[in-house]
Structure 1
């Protein structure tokens, strides 16, 4: 669960696990590749269709980008990390007021200001 002021972004456990795989790989990844990584060491493996559904929903939420690859899709993370997801949700809810608040808060720490600037540039 991620918090952004009044906004709560909740990713389920499997959604979070899929996003972590996509962030770790940092390249287009198929459902099969994510499934294989998620099933490593699991006593009860996940089904292909379960992971495919989660990845489709993450793409619909615009957290994953997808492109046709062969008979399926290859996915890449559309956001850099969990902080980027939180920034995106705050911006959707509060727009310009959120940007002004981020700018004011970031003036305290130049590194934070630069990080927020990068996140704001990534947000649609």
Structure 2
């Protein structure tokens, strides 16, 4: 999955946060230094769609939602998409093309296990 420009900006704010974030927190982060501020509803829609795509986790927080990344970074998102689309063939290719160090092999295994 390739993130759109605004989706990427939203995810960077979420990845840099140390706790689940609200739409308002992401909006405030995105609008810092921006000549043309984004609308709350625009950011809310993007975050809702990212949750529907399983890129963000969404939990109820009072009358609103709090969001946290479903993947630790953009590289993990790319690996997850390759695994979803190509599964075992991708793992076989990775293993055949490179001698994987144990840490990388373990990370790939965890990502595969986490992938729905």
TM-score (norm 1): 0.84
* Alignment match, 2:64: 72
2:73 maps to 1:81: yes
Aligned equivalents of 2:50 and 2:72: distance in 1?
A: 14
Deviations 1:57-88 (Å, cap 9, x if unpaired)? 00000000000111110000001111111111
Gaps of 5+ in 2: none
Name the residue aligned to 2:15: 23
Structure richer in strand, relative to its length: 1
Give the root-mean-square deviation of aligned CA atoms: 1.6
Gaps of 5+ in 1: 1-8
- TM-score scaled by length of structure 2: 0.89
- Runs of 4+ off more than 4 Å: none
